[in-house]
Structure 1
Amino acid sequence: MIDFVLQKRLYGGGLNFLGKRPDLIICDDVENGQRIQSKKYREDIYKQFESAVLKLPARKGDYSVLVVGTTLHEECLLLRLENRYNAKSYNFPLVLDFGPKIDGLSPANIDGYDLDSVLLDDSSLDKKEVLMEFLQNKSAFFAEFQNTPTHSKDAILGDFATYENLPEKIDAVFMGIDPALGKDKGDFFAIACVFFCKAQMRYFASVRAYKEKPDKMIGIVLETYSHAHKICPFIKVGIEVVAFQAFFKDQLKKRALELGLSFFRPIELKNTAHKEMRIDSLAPLLADRSLVIEQFSHELVSELETYPKGAHDDCLDALEFAMRLARTRQMVDYRQIKARVKTRFGKPKKGFRL
């Protein structure tokens, strides 16, 4: 590792050493992992790098400064150097592809996961062991092995809690759908299910992200709806309708009717406010724990921890759609209906159900 103090002594802050200046400088793990959380420390490191290291090489000939290390923070030296006009950046993540169905993966179902869909930089490693490390501590995994640090405390939506299992009694389900064009595009097709528990006055969000063609996503959406219907009979569905998405909604509704899902009637959601304002509105609900996140909604958790600097926000969009429906909910109290039926018609006959 380059010692900045030693460099200053050897080169006198830029003077030559034995009549020569270096044409190759290699810096390895410059930053301290324990101190990287300090903004002053990060600024000091960058200033020292500019003043002590970048002033060392000869300017008349070719020279190279190679900086190697782990990206420990979003404002670490390596990521700041990416933006320099004369720098080239190379990233070597351990996991090149987690597979198309990483959302929902947990230690309980990992044995059934398609490990062949996982692509590692080093094929000799045990894929299951790597995925278990990912599930154990995702923030550390992304920082150490993927070179994509996440610091949720610094993120707008980073203050959130997670859950593993839903409460026994769910009183309503709100589905938000954010369609995308499919594999060839960069966006995810996201489906958010928000489960409302009246006893706890809390929302439990589970979000899945896909990169599939719209025609295949129709089946996935309806399967998600059917699964949610088994948990609670009251389901409200909202879908964004912009450009092709309106056509997708019509095809989705048509397919639902063909399958006998006559109560599947998605509500068109048109966005009048800026996306940032809509997504930012989730922050108070997350902070006061009115809204909690399923711990195995991996893409959503990643977006929460990196927003607004993350590469994607599709899961956040779908979650905001679902919560928009929840805020304007009209729920059916099935117990109250049953009580009224008894009062009006007497005790229900055998075989009568509500």
Structure 2
Amino acid sequence: MMKLRCETDPELFCRVFFPRHCRYPFSPLHRHLFRQYCRQQHQPLHEREGRNYAVAAPRGYAKSTIATLLLPIHDVVYRGEGYIVIVSATLPQSVGKLKNIRAELAENRMLRECFEPQISRITSRQIVVNDIAIEAFSVGTELRGITYRHWRPTKIVIDDGEDSDAVESPEQREKLTMWFNEVLENIGNGYTNVIVVGTVLHSDSLLANILKRPDFQSRTFRAVETFAENTTLWEQWRARFNDLSDPCRAETARSFFELNRDTMLKGARVLWPEKEDYYDLMCQLTTRGRKAFFKEKQNDPRHHEAQLFDPETFRYFTLEQSSEQIAGEQIVQPGSSRQVSLDRLVRFGFLDSALGGAGSDFAAVATVGRDEHGYLYVLDVWMERASPTRQIEKIFDLHALWNYRLFGFEANCFQSLLAQPIEQERQRRRKAGRPWDLPIEQVSHRENKLRRIASLETLIANGWLLFSPTLGEEFFQQCEQFPRAAHDDGLDALEAAVSLARTGAIGRPLPASTRRSSRHLTSY
């Protein structure tokens, strides 16, 4: 009886046979997938009229578990399909999904006892169960003419078919769209169901455009369906949550929330409260940044595509001369009487080098200080279309001013050629009795530059990265126009300097002998 009921009730099938995958109650997203699935049943396969549907889901909400694991297993044990094709951005992704299906069919004791699935073929990219083939492919693959026995693909599932880096390239987006339109949509037949599930990574991504197509039945789900009404209390909570001077800030913020829970949750509604409640999601919004949150959890990458950084919202500090200040330069945090001596900041620098010459990129050196709590201060950003020789001279001049704990430069391509000239300049200055002991580290960037720079947004939004207003119009213009600015050299250098400051050696405060002035820094 249970076996018969599960044939027409995929939700019950998942609960009965896969309890370890279904620990939480199903969300509206999952029930939507079940309803769409049921609409394709009740017809002989060769008489079926194929359907297209697309679902945009938040990251981490079990869309793949339902769409490319549990429902394909339902297909094979009840013999509802002839040839299933699973497509992901990379072959390892789709092969991994196939392995999960194979593992359940081989190891799920209850499933095997009830259905006795007959596995007749296993390869790294294909399994055949009950004379139904399931095969894994990556996007961009040549799929023309693929068949299993007399079937062309009867069900095609594209699950997370877009690469996070490639989707940022207009050329790669166009290439993927052409492949989908010209290749994938033509490999099926009149009975073929095409299901596209994923997260919208760009406003012009393949999934974003499929969601608009009239021949696809589409729906978009968001982790936060409506935000809480009382923004004032949430801003006060965020200030406590982001206070790096409080070692128990997470507990402090939670206590504030519990004290004001009813008011702070008024109007809030989330998609899957059993998995992630509103408080969990607000913590993610704060720690991961608005850009990542709205893209990965809200399927809204447009939220920051036009402008990621707004200098008007930055937190700033100013340098004030004080003849009475003998303890060194000070930084005063806004809204706080706590003062931090500039001499107690550990300073880091980074050179984003360039070839020099009119019309070329700027060479840029960013200087960042870190206090004992982890707040970061952008002390200086030097940018100039300078020759490599001038760049090397400048970094030693800046070291004489700031006394860097660690200084980095990019080891990729041409920049690696600077290592020897830097060492020569170090020896020349040592002989001349000038500051020479610049601690150098070559850095090899492995992540996409735009993504690295975008990671600063979280630090800025949380008030953990403060700026001097004297950094220059060119730098702030690059901030304002990113990611569409003609140049982003200052931001590139800043991100690298920030990375050094967050991961580099943090030793003792600088000795008093290195202090050069009695100035006062006030932030606002």
TM-score (norm. length: structure 1):
0.47
Greater RCO structure (CA 8 Å; 6+ sep)? 1
Larger CA Rg, structure 1 vs 2: 2
TM-score (norm. length: structure 2):
0.32
> Which structure carries more helix by proportion?
2
